[in-house]
Structure 1
Amino acid sequence: MKVAIVGGTGYGAVELLRFLYNHPHVTVSKIISHSNSGTPFSDVYPHLVNVIDLEMESLDISQLAEEVDLVFFATPSNVSKNYIPGLIDRGVKVIDLSGDFRLRNGKEYEKYYGEEMASSEYIGKAVYGLSEINKNEIANATLVANPGCYPTATTLGLIPVIANNLVNYHSIIIDAKTGTTGAGRSLSQGFHFSEMQENFRAYQLGVHKHIPEIEQVLAGSAKEAVQVSFTPHVVPMTRGIMSTIYVDLKEKQSTKQLLELYKEFYKDKPFVRIREEGIIPQTKEVYGSNFCDIGLYADERTGKLIIISVIDNLVKGASGQAIQNMNIMNGWDETTGINQLPIYP
């Protein structure tokens, strides 16, 4: 199967290539970057010289639709919504790594993304690509809205207790940290070495784009509205997300009981690993992999459950999950091409 990547110079694109290079069913035949059209991809990423022998091209929807079977969009927000309808109408499958098709509420999209939402016709066709939860819907999808990195770590950590009605839906506190690649590759003063090194900061309190996405996913499991307090932080590491989540248990539960519930919930999900009691996952333990590792602690003194969920923001939080969704869409084993061990140390 021939695929294309639109948004060729970002970290999402180069991670897609890293996994797709050895995928047994896929050939990357086009890399699209309007600003770098005509430039060899290895000029932008020299570590791929003599490995990826492709020149980046400008985007021509009609030509692209004739030459590939599936397109990954690894573009910033408010870009893909202008091009994806033309591909869908021509019978090309699409996986969008941006937020353009994730939200269902137009007012929420305008509030958090600053522009009008995509056409309701195509929003209706989009399947939210949380692989472990929406596998059946993804299998029949032509357009998959790949989840954000924070929502992936957070919702995978929360859904088992939300779906089983074990926690208060309106007192959820999410304290999340990401590495600097979460900000993308564009230059920014706040991410210069001298600004970021030996520093640790919170950002976008109350206005982060992933707030409505997290609440929308959790509401789908709860079958009612869910509210969260979400505080993102950036820490001086390259990759990784740790989402530390605090919830109030409705009834007394032990850590052991809850771990058994999580293990049962994710028993057929190859990329979610539940740690044993007393073992708390670290970002280094999923580095470069498509795993989401989850640890739990039920604090019987306070009646709170503390959930620790870690992912690599560029893999399970972006490109790895996108390939997992591609595998599901095509009826292949969902681990194909991405069943790699974490990089350690």
Structure 2
Amino acid sequence: MTTLIQRTIDQIGTVVLGKQRQIKLALTCLLCEGHLLIEDLPGMGKTTLSHAIAQSLGLSYNRIQFTSDLLPSDLIGINLFDRNKSEFTFHKGPLFAQIVLADEINRSTPKAQSALLEAMEERQISVEGTTYPLPRPFFVIATQNPTEQSGTFLLPESQMDRFFMRIHLGYPTPEAERELLLGHDRTALLQSIKPCMSQEELSSLQKLVPQVKCTGPLLDYVQRIISFTRQNAEFKDGLSPRGGIALLRAAKSWALVEGREHVLPDDIQAVLPSVVEHRLGGSSKSDHYPLSTKIIREVEVI
């Protein structure tokens, strides 16, 4: 199984250059059956990353461009009258895919945002009393522009918790940028990507995550982190129970991605910024994690 994960990371890395850590975090989120928020400037490779993940895993993929006039029905679908059958037929919207890229989610109205977030939570859609299950796996990768950009609708803090993890891609390394400047054709590379694992193998990996061992002392460490965020005045709100569960689950998934069946303190610290910063109201600036840095510095490991 470890070989499958590494092969997937390596293949995505041929398209998303110099971002192995972010690729690992995205796969960590997928293995946890969570949803991912990528917050960054336009043109950083968010779309390329999501498409490469879908291609590498052989999953169906849809991209939805969020705009101010987007309606909930544009996402979930609509009932249309079929004259031949003399009845209404449901036409599925773009949310009916295994990987959905919700591009620039903060450019749409709260009503459209709520429709997406509800589908993420329920993993099913209800239209006029009929419920339609969404495909499995169902992985939403939402992108968001920095809030200081004009024309954006700030996602409420209460809704940010719906995203299992938040990551930033940031600017490319000098080596990666040089390849891009020399004509690195990501479109052609995307089309050449072949699936690295079957959907059954992906499902098996997702089921392995809860089985990764975490010793008592490391559970104590996670609890100390949770308590620290609730008791320290520098944090607006402490981690919720759901946030604490997400931290432990992400650490287990990261350990699995790293090829281990047990959690180390490094695993907890590796996923900490991506799991807790957006839940604690941390900065949206790339690679700037003051809250996580404070936690790692001040909370004793053992």
Normalising by structure 1, we get a TM-score of 0.26
Greater share of residues in strand? 1
Greater share of residues in helix? 2
Normalising by structure 2, we get a TM-score of 0.29
Q: Which has the higher contact order (CA 8 A, sep 6+)?
A: 2
